[in-house]
């Protein structure tokens, strides 16, 4: 075994602050669980050199979440942050049904250039429904059902991602405030509700391909994402 059996508890449950305490440096208002650093190492990548952390969060003990860090985050403000949920089908298999791989690569490149910054890679495949359910939903989509209705036919929520672990990781890394790389206003709201000081939003605009266009259009029309390059495609296609 190259990993130690005991990991270090780095973040104990937070102190609750009053609702009116909006100070930018504290993530403590949310009731966050304990976080453990399982491993940490430098990681050279095609996008730049990072420090990679493996975290385990008590509320999701089966998941190994990652932080891919560029530069020194401790005490830093307005840090570029991507919170990216695992997408095996696009990132490993090269699926064209979504743009997750392109968004991840954009974020790693952006953050390497705008250092310090961080990508938090959360192991919540398929917007949190898991790989099996995601592939079941793809089967329905291949028969013409859109991503939202496919989930509903399977009795699953539209989006079951959670961000408590991300808030705890940011606290551990000493980040004071962030600029979030996202097109999803609900992600900004979810982080703020956990006490993360989101001071700006950086759009991640990936040109749709023939397979991803329908999915991205659904994100705009049914999931409130802001994707101007897809809005145009929507008008053209309709
Ligand atoms: Zn994806």
- Domains defined for the chain, CATH in brackets: 8-124+161-206 (3.40.50.10990), 209-238 (no CATH)
- CA–CA separation, 219 and 44 (whole Å): 33
Give the DSSP per-residue string, 46-74.
Answer: TTEEEEEEEEEETTSTT--EEEEEES--T
* pTM reported for the whole predicted model: 0.80
State the distance from the centre of ligand 1 to the C-alpha of 19, rounded, in angstroms: 35
For 105-132, write each residue's pLDDT tens digit. Answer: 999 999 999 999 999 999 999 888 999 9
Active site residues: 159, 161
CA of 18 to the centre of ligand 1 (A): 37
Q: With CA atoms as reference, report the closest residue to 90 among 144, 138, 44, 52.
A: 138
Q: Report CA(136)–ligand 1 centroid distance (Å).
A: 14
Share of the chain above pLDDT 70, in %: 82
**Residue closest to 234 by CA, chosen among 222, 225, 218, 152:** 218
Burial class (CB in 10 A: 0-12, 13-18, 19+), 10: middle
User: What is the dihedral angle through the alpha carbons of 237, 220, 82, 84, rounded to the nearest 10 degrees?
Assistant: -90
In the DSSP assignment, the letter for residue 122 is E
User: 205: CA distance to ligand 1 center in Å?
Assistant: 14
Question: What gap in Å lies between CA 237 and CA 223, rounded to an integer?
Answer: 19
Q: Quick check: 32 pLDDT over 70?
A: no
pLDDT digits (tens, 9 = 90+) for 135-180: 999 999 999 998 889 989 999 988 888 999 999 999 999 999 999 9
């Amino acid at each position: 075994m190259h990993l130690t059996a005991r990991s270090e508890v780095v973040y104990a449950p937070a102190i609750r602050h009053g609702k009116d305490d909006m100070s930018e440096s504290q993530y403590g208002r949310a009731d966050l669980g304990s976080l453990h650093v399982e491993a940490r190492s430098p990681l050279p990548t095609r996008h730049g050199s990072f420090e990679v952390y493996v975290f385990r969060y008590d509320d999701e003990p089966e998941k190994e979440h990652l932080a891919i860090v560029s530069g020194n985050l401790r005490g830093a403000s307005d840090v570029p942050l991507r919170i990216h949920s695992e997408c095996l089908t696009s990132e490993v298999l090269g699926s064209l049904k979504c743009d997750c791989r392109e968004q991840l690569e954009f974020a790693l490149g952006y953050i390497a250039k705008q250092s310090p910054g961080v990508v938090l890679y959360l192991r919540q495949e398929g917007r949190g429904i898991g790989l099996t359910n995601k592939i079941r939903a793809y089967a329905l989509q291949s028969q013409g059902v859109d991503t939202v209705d496919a989930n509903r036919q399977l009795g699953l929520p539209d989006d079951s991602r959670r961000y408590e672990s991300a808030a705890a990781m940011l606290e551990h890394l000493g980040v004071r405030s962030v600029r979030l790389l996202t097109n999803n206003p609900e992600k900004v709201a979810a982080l703020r509700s956990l006490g993360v000081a989101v001071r700006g939003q950086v759009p991640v605009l990936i040109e749709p391909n023939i397979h991803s266009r329908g999915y991205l259009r659904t994100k705009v029309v049914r999931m409130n994402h802001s994707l101007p390059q897809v809005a145009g495609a929507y008008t053209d296609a309709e």
